[in-house]
Structures are given as structure tokens and as C-alpha cells.
Amino acid sequence: MLAVVETKPASVEAKPVLRVEGLKAYYQMNYFGVRREVRAVDDISLTIKRNEIYGIAGESSSGKSSLIKTIAGAITPPLRVVEGSVKFDFGGKELDVYAERPAMKAARWKHLSYVMQGSMNVLNPVRKVKHAFHDFAFKHMGLSEQDFRARVESHLQRIGLDPRVLEAYPHQLSGGMRQRLTIGLATVCEPEFIIADEPTTALDVLVQQDVLALIKEVQQRLGSSIIFVTHDMTVHAAIADRIGIVYAGRLVEEGPTIDVFERPQHPYTAHLIASLPRIGDTKKRIALPGKPPNLADPPSGCRFHPRCPLAIDKCTRENPPLVPRQTGRVACWRAGEVEAA
């Protein structure tokens, strides 16, 4: 077949594939002279290495979706980038998402692709699946119609789908098959970077593990990097190499998955992990008091302090910086003082 196996030079391997520096993206609204600003992404810096699955965890309205939209360059007003930069490194060529729009457009799908949450929203319900592949990938592959079809078929076979699904309409397929298809769509061009937004949330429990195994398998085969967003900590436990915890638009902790689960440094992370129910354990789980902060009017100092069991006076006044600690980074004045439950 035509599958091209690319070998990357060693010097390229060492450089991170994505560098986000001091990124601030706000929803800025101006209705009838009333200005409103929602700081959904507030001063986030992170790097993602080659061949890595980076998980972003956080509750809804924590800004995790705004963050990945900003990284993908897929933002529309009122969400605007106020400060900072997002830079990709595709095969040694640096690409600034917000400075080089045309180059970014060319890189989409070939180098950077997405797996989205509702598979039904991605696949057009009145067109056969083969048209979706054609629409998304054909112009990026530079192949003839025939070769393209052969390539898509062999790709589908590798992700465990019968090539006959190309002739089907989306509603004729099960939820698990559709989610496989969206993964197939995102990986057919063998991109270096994949953004996955809650890819398993809408799936039945029995299919979830298979889809996760598929994502991991494709990632290992292609050597791509994946940024993976979900609020389900057990999914992060299963496939993420590193986790970043987002709270109220800020990155509060980041580190290798196993370390974050075993020795959480931030009280919010510790709570997230301690509150997970386990079969075989009925010990009472304590729910976090209070409510998620309003990003239009966030609390002063550390944004977690109104709900934090360890909050001290300093937390209400000064915002803790994200500093290296042990194997990761953490933003907390009392980092490491939490006892992991």
C-alpha cells in the first residue's frame, strides 16, 4: 500500500511539538456600552513533547475547552487572544498559530487534527461516510481518487472498521463505530498533533475502553502527540502520560499521571482524586463545598481559596505562581501539604 513510514531525525525528537507561552484568551463583550470580560484562559504556559498524551482535566466552565480552542486557533469573537503565543513545531518548522494564518490553514488536518465529542455533529447525517473522508482529507493527501480510496480503506481496516462503512450513512452505525470513524478521520493524514475533546464521554461504558485502546494504539503507531480533554479522571488515569489540572482558567497543577494520582500537590487535585468512587469501597466521599467561581468576577488571590480547606490569609491576597515542584509544576502557597486520601 501507499502508507508512508516517516522517520524523524533525532534532533527534531527533542524539541517540543507545542509551546504555549503566557496565553491569555478572554471573552470580551460590549453590549449597550456595558463591558464584560470573562477570563477563560488566564496566563497559561505549557509544552507538549513529541509522542506524548497530555490530559487536561477540570470541571465544566473551568476554561478547558476555551484553552484547546485557542491552541487550535479555532476561536471566534467574543473569545480573543489578549496576550501570549501558541507555537507548533511540525518537522522542524515553527508555526505561530496567531501570526501565520495562511500557513496554519495549510497545516490543518495534515499536521493538526481534532477528534470531537459528539460524533453525530461531525458526520453529516444526509451524506455517506465516504464523503466525509473526501471533504476532510482529500486535498491534504495529494493522491489520485483511486489511491485515496485505497488508502482510506486500509486505514479503516487498521482501526478495526469494515471498509464497507464508507458506503453507509452515519445513522446506520452504532455510537462506538461512529466514534471510531471520527478517530479514523482525524488520523487518516497521519498528523503530528491531535486534539481530542471528550472523545469518550458520550459513549456507552462497554465501548469506552476499546475506543481508548484505539486512541493509544494509533498514537503509538504514528508517534503523534495528543492533547486530551475530559473531566473524567479515570480516563486520564488510563491513557494520559502527563496531566494538567485547570481550575478557573488557570493551570494549577501539572505532572506525570502516576505522580499526580499518587502524590497530588494541589488541594484541588487531591480533592478530585479522593472523590472518585471505587467498587469495593463504600467509605464516605466528601464533596467539595461551594461552587465553581464566576470567571467574569473571579475571587482575589488564588482562585481556589474560597473552597480550599487549607486556605490561609496569603491565599486571599496573592495569586500563587506555577512553580516546578518534584516531578511537575504546581500553583499553590501550601503545595504538598495535602494528605492524599
Assess contact for 78 and 336: CB atoms under 8 A: no
150 binds other proteins (CB under 8 A): no
3 binds other proteins (CB under 8 A): no
Q: Name the amino acid, one letter, at 315.
A: C
- The footprint of other proteins on residues 60-119 (CB under 8 A) is 60-61
| Residue 241 DSSP symbol | S
Is 3 or 10 the residue whose CB approaches other proteins more closely?
3
Interface region with other proteins, contact rule CB under 8 A, candidates 4-12, 23-31, 73-81, 254-262: 254-262
272 binds other proteins (CB under 8 A): yes
300 binds other proteins (CB under 8 A): no
Cell of 238: 488510563
Choose which of 6, 76, 284, 339 interacts with other proteins (CB under 8 A): 284
Q: Count of alpha carbons within 13 Å of 65, Cβ hemisphere only?
A: 11
Kindly give the interhelix angle for 175-187 and 145-158, rounded to the nearest 10 degrees: 130
Is 86 or 272 the residue whose CB approaches other proteins more closely?
272
Choose which of 212, 222, 310, 311 interacts with other proteins (CB under 8 A): 212
222 binds other proteins (CB under 8 A): no
Interface region with other proteins, contact rule CB under 8 A, candidates 27-35, 58-66, 297-305, 320-328: 58-66
Q: Sheet containing 225-229: give its strands across.
A: 112-115, 193-197, 225-229, 53-57, 242-247, 250-256, 328-330, 323-325
275 binds other proteins (CB under 8 A): yes
Is 61 or 319 the residue whose CB approaches other proteins more closely?
61
Q: Name the amino acid, one letter, at 229.
A: V
Q: Name the amino acid, one letter, at 123.
A: L
The whole-angstrom separation of Cα 220 and Cα 218 is 5
Interface region with other proteins, contact rule CB under 8 A, candidates 15-23, 93-101, 117-125, 253-261: 253-261
Beta strands in the chain (DSSP E): 18-31, 34-48, 53-57, 79-90, 93-96, 112-115, 193-197, 225-229, 242-247, 250-256, 323-325, 328-330
340 binds other proteins (CB under 8 A): no
| Residue 38 DSSP symbol | E
Burial (Cβ within 10 Å: 0-12, 13-18, ≥19) of residue 251: buried
Q: Least distance to other proteins from the beta carbon of 237, Å?
A: 4
Cell of 67: 484553552
Choose which of 136, 210, 222, 306 interacts with other proteins (CB under 8 A): 210
233 binds other proteins (CB under 8 A): yes
Bridge partner list, 242: 54, 256
Interface region with other proteins, contact rule CB under 8 A, candidates 39-47, 85-93, 131-139, 275-283: 275-283
- The footprint of other proteins on residues 309-328 (CB under 8 A) is none
Q: Least distance to other proteins from the beta carbon of 141, Å?
A: 23
280 binds other proteins (CB under 8 A): yes
Binding site for other proteins (CB under 8 A): 59-61, 157-158, 160, 204-206, 208-210, 212-214, 216-217, 231-235, 237-239, 257-258, 261, 271-273, 275-280, 282, 284-288, 291-292
